[in-house]
Amino acid sequence: MCGIVAYTGPREAYPVILKGLKRLEYRGYDSAGVALLNSGLQVFKKKGKVAELEEALLGKNLHALTGIGHTRWATHGEPSDRNAHPHRSSNGKLAMVHNGIIENYALLKRELQNKGYHFESDTDTEVLLKFIEDIHGHHNGSLEEAVRIALKRIVGAYVIILIDEDNPDTLIAARKGSPLVIGIGKGEHFLASDASPIVEYTKEVVYINDYEIAIVKPDELILKNLGNEKVTPFITKLDMELAAIEKGGFDHFMLKEIFEQPTTIFDCLRGRLDASAGTIRMSGVDDNLDMLTNARRIIMVACGTSWHAGLVAEYVFEELCRIPVEVEYASEFRYRNPVIQTGDVIIAISQSGETADTLVAIDKAKEQGAFIFGVVNVVGSSIARVSHAGAHTHAGPEIGVASTKAFTAQLAVLYMIALKLGYAKGTIGMERYTHLINELHMVPEKVATVLESSSRIKELAEKYKDSTDFLYLGRGFNFPVALEGALKLKEISYIHAEGYPAAEMKHGPIALVEETLPVVFVATKDAYHEKLVSNAQEIKARRGKVVAVITEDDPVFTEIADDTMSVPAADELIAPMLGVIPLQLLAYYIGLAKGLDVDKPRNLAKSVTVE
């Protein structure tokens, strides 16, 4: 949640920060603001999107060589000008931006009020800033030392960056539980919540770890831990191109990312899956093959769309590897007292690699002796660093808030892992193994074929855009795809939608069926196909509208359904990677037809780094 950008160096800070905030707006867009050092500290902030802040600042003197910026996803306090970041200290000399939640802010606020401090906002951020200010005012030490003392008292998650009128070329930053990356230029530094604002200026970055404080000047970067011991910065080369975070001629990032999937799936498979040789090479799996093949059980831990990928993987792993699999919501897993033993394998799935609940969940499991395997998209992310081993999805930056290409890339990685383990264990034979490798190899080409039907799906969106409810049904490997289709529609169109196993329809949801209810079946040909036909007939008997994702040349569902979206034939294990594509397009085009902001749906943010 929330996007943070900061700069110090010889450039004009405001244009760098403004461009960075626009690139981070997918992380939050309730309000935005900047603080600039320009013959004194100036703070400008505005409710709404970054463009509204930009318009409000036209004509103002914004000259500054050091500055901080923020785009907000509201936690404490409604979206408003006064709750927008940056927040300012009582003496007016400090300003701070913050991503995270300070859980003990109420106690600190009462203490500060008793000392005479007044608060201009409803935020926990202002409380933390004034707590730092109070410590700084009552100790003879530096601002850095005041930050260190304050953070030892803080409960919660944070990335903070402070700017100080008395030290105009220095930024103080710290993190715990939320991401922070620092780009290293020539006599300049760039700070941000992720690398997208930085890649234009430098490919050399340092990922800040939990409990580290960064003292950043144009020509110097000092890292320390909370014990005031210096830490050697580890410089990483960014594997990201500027074009990857631009729209590239598409109207929206979401549409671009849907259409990128033939490429992103290919990139995920490239160098790993060799269909001609019938081999899969994944260093994270190969180096830990005994641990993985001898797993007592596998627990998939994830949130949202990644949780749906884990559900598909549960079916695939149990089918191919004969290992018991559980799929857990990270937000529930972290607060339970789960029975974890040595020999358990936790597969943590996260697009950003920074999902707060997933991070805490795997830390907890790691303490109890589990082996952690991360499946993430972002190189250098927290989950990637905490895991014992892992595999990157190589999907490239995903800017649209609703995840699309990350889902299919996660599935590609999880399929490859399952195939490797199943073959190594002897639970699938050479013929089945080779067949599924070839099926997976053909997915990018088949996805490209599905995308050719986008105009037909756009027509369906116009037909169903005024519906108030949708029901999504699937069975077997396609049940999680129904869940994902319903989630996409909710996220993008704000239409109520629910996903169910098709057989569960008769245990309640069928009461909703009437003429105005579209029921979307994920009905590609598989072992459940005849059962789904019966379920569809039950909907038709009650005058519901049947919309079906079907395998090409399926005469049965073509006759039953009011409307169809077809995909090429594929093995039933692989079919979810194809069946989800029409559902992504349907959600996109319905949102578009309703005139909504499909890249930034209300109340949502891309990377959920707070509870």
3-class SS string, 44-70: EEEECCHHHHHHHCCCCCCCCCEEEEE
CA separation for the pair 377, 188 (Å, rounded):
28
Q: How far apart are the first and last CA of the chain?
A: 10
Do 9 and 189 contact (CB within 8 A), yes or no? yes
Do 30 and 76 contact (CB within 8 A), yes or no? no
Strands 371-376 and 389-392 turn out to be parallel
The token pair at 365 is 């499991």
CA separation for the pair 315, 419 (Å, rounded):
13
Which distant-in-sequence residues (6+ apart) come within 8 Å of 219 by Cβ? 187
Task: For residue 420, indicate whether it is catalytic.
Answer: no
| Residue of 366, 414, 357 lying closest to 388 (CA atoms) | 366
Selecting among 2, 268, 303, 321, the annotated active-site residue is 2
Task: For residue 506, indicate whether it is catalytic.
Answer: no
Which distant-in-sequence residues (6+ apart) come within 8 Å of 29 by Cβ? 48, 49, 50, 71, 72, 73, 600
Selecting among 49, 109, 525, 606, the annotated active-site residue is 606
Secondary structure element (H or E) that encloses residue 321, with its range: helix 304-321
The residue type at 593: A
Which distant-in-sequence residues (6+ apart) come within 8 Å of 560 by Cβ? 533, 536, 537, 540, 546, 548
| Residues recognised as catalytic | 2, 606
